[in-house]
Protein backbone atom coordinates (compact mmCIF):
# COMPACT_ATOMS: atom_id res chain seq x y z
CA UNK A 1 0.00 0.00 0.00
CA UNK A 2 1.36 3.41 -0.85
CA UNK A 3 0.22 7.00 -0.95
CA UNK A 4 -1.72 6.27 -4.15
CA UNK A 5 -3.96 3.89 -2.16
CA UNK A 6 -5.01 6.63 0.24
CA UNK A 7 -7.01 9.80 -0.29
CA UNK A 8 -7.57 11.49 3.09
CA UNK A 9 -5.56 12.04 6.25
CA UNK A 10 -6.28 13.49 9.68
CA UNK A 11 -3.42 15.01 11.70
CA UNK A 12 -3.84 16.26 15.26
CA UNK A 13 -1.62 18.78 17.01
CA UNK A 14 -1.05 20.30 13.59
CA UNK A 15 -0.32 23.93 14.37
CA UNK A 16 3.44 23.55 14.83
CA UNK A 17 6.36 21.15 15.18
CA UNK A 18 5.92 17.54 14.11
CA UNK A 19 2.23 18.01 13.36
CA UNK A 20 2.74 20.92 10.98
CA UNK A 21 5.66 19.19 9.26
CA UNK A 22 3.54 16.06 8.81
CA UNK A 23 0.69 18.04 7.30
CA UNK A 24 3.08 19.67 4.87
CA UNK A 25 4.62 16.33 3.85
CA UNK A 26 1.30 14.53 3.39
CA UNK A 27 -0.10 17.42 1.35
CA UNK A 28 2.98 17.24 -0.86
CA UNK A 29 2.20 13.54 -1.42
CA UNK A 30 -1.22 14.46 -2.78
CA UNK A 31 -3.47 13.56 0.15
CA UNK A 32 -6.40 15.67 1.28
CA UNK A 33 -5.13 16.52 4.74
CA UNK A 34 -7.38 17.70 7.55
CA UNK A 35 -5.36 19.50 10.24
CA UNK A 36 -6.64 19.77 13.81
CA UNK A 37 -5.29 22.18 16.42
CA UNK A 38 -6.41 24.90 18.82
CA UNK A 39 -4.38 27.82 17.43
CA UNK A 40 -6.49 29.37 14.70
CA UNK A 41 -3.82 31.78 13.43
CA UNK A 42 -1.22 29.03 13.04
CA UNK A 43 -3.77 26.79 11.32
CA UNK A 44 -4.66 29.51 8.84
CA UNK A 45 -1.00 30.04 7.97
CA UNK A 46 -0.56 26.29 7.54
CA UNK A 47 -3.61 26.05 5.30
CA UNK A 48 -2.46 28.97 3.17
CA UNK A 49 0.97 27.40 2.80
CA UNK A 50 0.03 23.77 2.22
CA UNK A 51 -3.56 23.65 1.02
CA UNK A 52 -4.66 21.55 3.99
CA UNK A 53 -8.17 21.81 5.43
CA UNK A 54 -7.91 23.42 8.85
CA UNK A 55 -10.17 22.67 11.81
CA UNK A 56 -9.94 24.63 15.06
CA UNK A 57 -10.77 21.73 17.37
CA UNK A 58 -9.47 20.69 20.76
CA UNK A 59 -8.74 16.96 20.70
CA UNK A 60 -10.69 16.58 23.94
CA UNK A 61 -13.85 17.85 22.18
CA UNK A 62 -15.48 14.53 21.35
CA UNK A 63 -18.59 16.12 19.83
CA UNK A 64 -16.54 18.07 17.28
CA UNK A 65 -14.32 15.07 16.52
CA UNK A 66 -17.34 12.84 16.01
CA UNK A 67 -18.92 15.36 13.65
CA UNK A 68 -15.75 15.58 11.55
CA UNK A 69 -15.11 11.83 11.39
CA UNK A 70 -18.75 11.22 10.48
CA UNK A 71 -18.45 13.67 7.60
CA UNK A 72 -15.10 12.45 6.26
CA UNK A 73 -13.74 8.92 5.87
CA UNK A 74 -10.08 9.00 6.80
CA UNK A 75 -7.54 6.62 5.30
CA UNK A 76 -4.64 7.88 7.43
CA UNK A 77 -4.86 8.97 11.07
CA UNK A 78 -1.86 10.64 12.69
CA UNK A 79 -2.36 11.03 16.45
CA UNK A 80 0.26 13.65 17.22
CA UNK A 81 -1.30 16.05 19.75
CA UNK A 82 0.29 15.90 23.19
CA UNK A 83 1.00 17.88 26.33
CA UNK A 84 3.37 17.59 29.27
CA UNK A 85 3.53 18.92 32.82
CA UNK A 86 6.90 17.69 34.04
CA UNK A 87 7.14 17.05 37.74
CA UNK A 88 7.72 14.18 40.11
CA UNK A 89 4.62 12.09 40.68
CA UNK A 90 4.85 12.72 44.42
CA UNK A 91 4.20 16.38 43.57
CA UNK A 92 1.60 15.80 40.83
CA UNK A 93 -1.50 17.99 40.71
CA UNK A 94 -4.94 16.55 40.06
CA UNK A 95 -5.48 18.88 37.13
CA UNK A 96 -2.13 18.02 35.54
CA UNK A 97 -2.91 14.30 35.65
CA UNK A 98 -6.34 14.84 34.11
CA UNK A 99 -4.90 17.03 31.33
CA UNK A 100 -2.22 14.51 30.36
CA UNK A 101 -4.65 11.60 30.39
CA UNK A 102 -7.28 13.54 28.43
CA UNK A 103 -4.95 14.81 25.68
CA UNK A 104 -2.21 12.16 25.47
CA UNK A 105 -4.31 9.03 25.89
CA UNK A 106 -8.08 9.52 26.04
CA UNK A 107 -8.15 11.59 22.82
CA UNK A 108 -6.09 8.95 21.02
CA UNK A 109 -8.45 6.22 22.18
CA UNK A 110 -11.52 8.10 21.04
CA UNK A 111 -10.10 9.09 17.67
CA UNK A 112 -9.16 5.48 17.01
CA UNK A 113 -12.67 4.47 18.11
CA UNK A 114 -14.15 6.91 15.61
CA UNK A 115 -11.84 6.21 12.67
CA UNK A 116 -10.51 2.65 12.77
CA UNK A 117 -13.85 0.79 12.33
CA UNK A 118 -14.27 2.53 8.97
CA UNK A 119 -10.77 1.51 7.96
CA UNK A 120 -11.57 -2.08 8.85
CA UNK A 121 -14.83 -1.99 6.89
CA UNK A 122 -13.01 -0.62 3.81
CA UNK A 123 -10.03 -2.99 4.27
CA UNK A 124 -7.71 -0.01 3.99
CA UNK A 125 -6.05 2.40 6.39
CA UNK A 126 -3.04 3.41 8.45
CA UNK A 127 -2.95 4.64 12.04
CA UNK A 128 0.22 6.41 13.13
CA UNK A 129 0.53 7.15 16.83
CA UNK A 130 3.26 9.59 17.80
CA UNK A 131 4.28 8.26 21.18
CA UNK A 132 7.63 8.87 22.86
CA UNK A 133 10.68 7.05 24.15
CA UNK A 134 9.04 7.90 27.49
CA UNK A 135 6.58 5.09 26.81
CA UNK A 136 9.33 2.51 27.11
CA UNK A 137 12.20 4.05 29.09
CA UNK A 138 12.45 5.71 32.47
CA UNK A 139 13.86 9.14 33.14
CA UNK A 140 13.24 11.40 36.08
CA UNK A 141 10.39 13.67 37.01
CA UNK A 142 7.76 12.88 34.39
CA UNK A 143 5.73 9.93 35.66
CA UNK A 144 2.28 10.94 34.39
CA UNK A 145 3.67 11.58 30.91
CA UNK A 146 5.42 8.20 30.90
CA UNK A 147 2.20 6.47 31.93
CA UNK A 148 0.11 8.05 29.16
CA UNK A 149 2.70 7.31 26.48
CA UNK A 150 2.96 3.70 27.66
CA UNK A 151 -0.81 3.51 27.21
CA UNK A 152 -0.49 4.73 23.62
CA UNK A 153 2.21 2.13 23.03
CA UNK A 154 0.00 -0.74 24.22
CA UNK A 155 -2.98 0.61 22.27
CA UNK A 156 -0.86 0.58 19.12
CA UNK A 157 -0.07 -3.09 19.65
CA UNK A 158 -3.65 -4.00 20.47
CA UNK A 159 -5.13 -2.20 17.45
CA UNK A 160 -3.29 -4.57 15.15
CA UNK A 161 -4.88 -7.51 16.96
CA UNK A 162 -8.34 -5.97 16.79
CA UNK A 163 -7.95 -5.26 13.06
CA UNK A 164 -6.37 -8.64 12.32
CA UNK A 165 -7.17 -9.95 8.85
CA UNK A 166 -7.68 -6.50 7.37
CA UNK A 167 -5.22 -4.24 5.57
CA UNK A 168 -5.14 -1.74 8.41
CA UNK A 169 -1.62 -0.87 9.43
CA UNK A 170 -0.61 0.59 12.77
CA UNK A 171 2.68 2.34 13.46
CA UNK A 172 3.96 3.71 16.75
CA UNK A 173 6.66 6.33 16.29
CA UNK A 174 8.67 7.11 19.41
CA UNK A 175 10.76 10.28 19.13
CA UNK A 176 13.47 11.19 21.57
CA UNK A 177 14.56 14.80 21.74
CA UNK A 178 13.53 16.71 18.61
CA UNK A 179 14.27 20.35 17.82
CA UNK A 180 10.75 21.77 18.10
CA UNK A 181 9.05 24.45 20.17
CA UNK A 182 7.63 21.87 22.60
CA UNK A 183 10.24 22.84 25.18
CA UNK A 184 9.16 26.47 25.02
CA UNK A 185 5.53 25.44 25.44
CA UNK A 186 6.29 23.23 28.42
CA UNK A 187 9.07 25.09 30.23
CA UNK A 188 8.84 28.64 28.88
CA UNK A 189 10.63 30.33 25.98
CA UNK A 190 13.75 31.58 27.73
CA UNK A 191 17.48 31.54 26.90
CA UNK A 192 18.00 29.13 29.79
CA UNK A 193 15.49 26.63 28.38
CA UNK A 194 16.93 26.88 24.86
CA UNK A 195 20.41 26.27 26.27
CA UNK A 196 19.19 23.32 28.34
CA UNK A 197 17.35 21.52 25.54
CA UNK A 198 18.36 22.89 22.13
CA UNK A 199 21.43 25.08 21.79
CA UNK A 200 24.58 23.19 20.87
CA UNK A 201 22.84 19.81 20.44
CA UNK A 202 22.65 17.87 17.17
CA UNK A 203 18.96 16.99 17.05
CA UNK A 204 16.44 15.60 14.58
CA UNK A 205 14.02 18.21 13.29
CA UNK A 206 10.26 18.00 12.86
CA UNK A 207 10.80 17.40 9.15
CA UNK A 208 12.79 14.25 9.94
CA UNK A 209 9.85 12.78 11.85
CA UNK A 210 7.51 13.72 9.00
CA UNK A 211 9.84 11.95 6.57
CA UNK A 212 9.69 8.84 8.77
CA UNK A 213 5.89 8.98 8.70
CA UNK A 214 5.96 9.24 4.93
CA UNK A 215 8.34 6.27 4.79
CA UNK A 216 6.06 3.95 6.76
CA UNK A 217 3.00 4.99 4.77
CA UNK A 218 4.82 4.41 1.47
CA UNK A 219 5.83 0.84 2.39
CA UNK A 220 4.31 -1.94 0.26
CA UNK A 221 0.90 -3.33 1.22
CA UNK A 222 2.51 -6.44 2.73
CA UNK A 223 4.70 -4.37 5.07
CA UNK A 224 3.62 -2.96 8.43
CA UNK A 225 6.34 -1.01 10.23
CA UNK A 226 4.95 -1.35 13.70
CA UNK A 227 7.45 0.47 15.89
CA UNK A 228 10.10 3.08 15.21
CA UNK A 229 12.36 4.90 17.68
CA UNK A 230 13.90 8.12 16.38
CA UNK A 231 16.50 9.71 18.61
CA UNK A 232 19.53 11.93 18.19
CA UNK A 233 22.67 9.96 17.41
CA UNK A 234 24.15 11.47 20.56
CA UNK A 235 21.25 10.53 22.82
CA UNK A 236 20.95 7.25 24.71
CA UNK A 237 18.24 5.85 26.96
CA UNK A 238 18.93 4.18 30.26
CA UNK A 239 21.46 4.43 33.03
CA UNK A 240 21.91 2.95 36.44
CA UNK A 241 21.68 4.76 39.77
CA UNK A 242 22.10 3.44 43.29
CA UNK A 243 21.19 5.57 46.28
CA UNK A 244 22.68 5.53 49.73
CA UNK A 245 20.14 5.82 52.57
CA UNK A 246 20.09 9.12 54.41
CA UNK A 247 19.51 7.34 57.71
CA UNK A 248 20.54 3.82 58.76
CA UNK A 249 17.85 1.14 58.95
CA UNK A 250 17.34 -0.09 62.49
CA UNK A 251 14.64 -2.66 61.78
CA UNK A 252 12.24 -1.08 64.28
CA UNK A 253 10.50 1.45 62.03
CA UNK A 254 6.74 1.20 62.05
CA UNK A 255 6.53 -0.97 65.16
CA UNK A 256 4.21 0.07 67.94
Residue-level pLDDT, tens digit, the chain, 256 residues: 577 889 999 999 999 999 999 999 999 999 999 999 999 999 999 999 999 999 999 999 999 999 999 999 999 999 999 999 888 889 989 999 999 999 999 999 999 999 999 999 999 999 999 999 999 998 877 899 999 999 999 999 999 999 999 999 999 999 998 987 776 666 667 777 677 777 887 889 999 999 999 999 999 999 999 999 999 998 888 777 778 888 888 776 666 5
Residue 95 makes CB contacts below 8 A (sequence gap 6+) with: none
- Establish if 236 belongs to a structural domain: no
Check which CATH number belongs to the domain holding 76 and give it. 3.40.50.720
- Establish if 244 belongs to a structural domain: no
Q: Which uninterrupted H or E stretch holds 78?
A: strand 76-79
Residues classed as catalytic: 145
Structural domain of residue 203, as residue ranges? Answer: 3-230
Residue 49, CA distances (Å) to 24, 25, 81, 226 in order: 8, 12, 21, 31
What pTM value is reported for the model? 0.91
Residue 229 makes CB contacts below 8 A (sequence gap 6+) with: 133, 174, 175, 176
- Establish if 102 belongs to a structural domain: yes
Number of domains in the chain: 1
Burial (0-12, 13-18, 19+ Cβ within 10 Å), 228: middle
Residue 245 makes CB contacts below 8 A (sequence gap 6+) with: none
- Establish if 250 belongs to a structural domain: no
- Establish if 256 belongs to a structural domain: no
Amino acid sequence: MSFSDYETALVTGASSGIGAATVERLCAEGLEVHAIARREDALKELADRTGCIAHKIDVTDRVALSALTTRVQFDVLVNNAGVDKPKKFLEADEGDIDLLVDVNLRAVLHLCRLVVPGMVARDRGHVINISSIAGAYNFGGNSSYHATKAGVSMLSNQLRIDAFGKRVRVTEICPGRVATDIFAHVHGDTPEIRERFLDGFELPEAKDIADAIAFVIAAPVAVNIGHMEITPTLQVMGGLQTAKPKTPYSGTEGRG
